Structure 1
């Protein structure tokens, strides 16, 4: 897969869910912090997003708000409206829900959803995102994102059809990728830094794709530089300057991230996990894994690793301020 898809897949932890929300008059909801991400899409009317520690963000029809780290936030018809706690979602196994507040007054209708993401080992591509991403509606902009929103809205309608649970889950996955794509693609070139700049650089992207597609290969700086079409020295400097790690340091980080996913998500024997992540022996793999996670692979697989905080963030991604401005139209 490509780097963005891999980054999201590596963090996915559980099934996403969404609801069609319809509110009347004066209203305000407080959403508690959760280990994941959330979004709101405005279908009718307007409201204000109230992030923790940030200024209110007005949302109009067609606007998308995405919170990569759900630190808790409010949503209300006006910034001064009193907020009430969100009602916990009924865990009935379905990804589809509804929320209504009937009564007089203006109507605000939204699509709201949440993703369960592993915030322990965050890919740096996602770690550098601002706490709030606001993508205003623009005619002719982000047609794929708009198409996904329209399809999701249909699935979350009053009468879900056969297969709606599966369709909704798939559409939520697509929507997340389109939101992230819209954010990165819409950054002006002079504002693209870190991973935003890396994804725009064909040479760095070529090396990243090679690492992600074939983590088991015995990559060297020279062989990755050949993929990038640069000299060894020029490539090493360019890669580290944009990714924030040397090529081989990132290779190790991605191998260990892949190994952790295989250990927790499959029954593959340790030898196979080692082979798939570029280690010739089970011993060499176990040594590298323990250095990264602070525990042996077997204990990690069995959930006996204790607190996941150890070596949780071997890659330090820069985190922007609490609220980002609108995506350039």
Structure 2
């Protein structure tokens, strides 16, 4: 596994969902804050997005926008004022009835993909935590071809009922999320983690830890894997990641254990071996110290939350 894949897989739960929407005239709809991440892709025409407490964003054909923290927002056919925001139709009701909520504009049609991912925010990797409230990826000729291909494929699948679409659509939504994150990192994004993954030494150490978290890592062994001295690895890793290599490994092992407790029925002994702890007792002790609860209670609590949440 690599860091980006692991950062996504530890927080993603359930199945993503999406809709292909076509509207015309005057419209304004609101999406409430969501315990996950939302996205919009404009296929045709244009619209405006106003995140709660943020700056309006103009979206044109081919633009993609990711709201990685589930920020509530309004989308509308044109810039909106405070009165229009208060009168915006809730998205679910608007989606069912396509209710107009404003004076008709020029006969301008707009088509977009709207969707969301369910995320467990209790154990968020710092790469995901540092994403901005809105990640806007404008459509530029020749930029991010993989993202454009995923958008085209997803739009095609949602535009027609085809055999296998129940598998194809969630898979394409996962691809879309990965390509949006990649695009954000390659566009000179502000934040620590694009720099972390761009540093050859730190990136090599992280790949090693994520590929084999249960291995008996030491600072010397990890430095040899990264091809540098132990002091060099410690200095560069700690400066960029914000914690020493072995402290990051401990955190990652326990985060991975939490994911396995949430997503699998595996006994604690099996999970302990998979994340590099010699005994269930050793894992339980470290887990309780890090998260303030026992593995058994954590598993019961996350199972209860999953049963209560809508898919």
- What TM-score, normalized by structure 1, do the two folds share? 0.85
1:88–1:282: structure 2 CA closer, same or farther, 3 Å change rule?
Answer: farther
Equivalent residues of 1:23, 1:101 under 8 A apart: no
CA distance in structure 1 between the partners assigned to 2:243 and 2:77 by the alignment: 44
1:105: which partner in 2? 107
Structure 1 residue 148, shift from structure 2 partner: 0.2
Q: Deviations over 1:153-211 (max 9, x none)?
A: 00110x31111111000000000000000110121xxx654111011111111111111
1:168: which partner in 2? 169
Structure 1 residue 88, shift from structure 2 partner: 6.2
1:130: which partner in 2? 132
1:173–1:266: structure 2 CA closer, same or farther, 3 Å change rule?
Answer: same
CA distance in structure 1 between the partners assigned to 2:107 and 2:302 by the alignment: 54
RMSD (Å), alpha carbons: 2.1
CA distance in structure 2 between the partners assigned to 1:22 and 1:258 by the alignment: 41
1:201: which partner in 2? 199
1:121: which partner in 2? 123
Structure 1 residue 303, shift from structure 2 partner: 2.2
Where does structure 1 differ by over 3 angstroms across 4 or more consecutive aligned residues? 97-104, 304-307
Equivalent residues of 1:12, 1:117 under 8 A apart: yes
Q: Relative contact order (C-alpha < 8 Å, sep 6+): which is higher?
A: 1
- Kindly report which structure 2 residues correspond to 1:1-329, keeping only aligned pairs within 5 A, or say none: 1-80=1-80, 82=84, 83-87=88-92, 100=98, 105-157=107-159, 159-187=160-188, 193-303=191-301
- 3-state SS of 1:230 partner: coil
Extract unaligned runs of 5+ from structure 1: 90-96, 308-329
Judge which range, 293-302 or 201-210, deviates more: 293-302
Structure 1 residue 5, shift from structure 2 partner: 0.7
- 3-state SS of 2:120 partner: coil
How many equivalent pairs are there?
296
CA distance in structure 2 between the partners assigned to 1:118 and 1:243 by the alignment: 22
- What TM-score, normalized by structure 2, do the two folds share? 0.90
Equivalent residues of 1:16, 1:114 under 8 A apart: yes
Structure 1 residue 281, shift from structure 2 partner: 1.5
1:270–1:100: structure 2 CA closer, same or farther, 3 Å change rule?
Answer: same
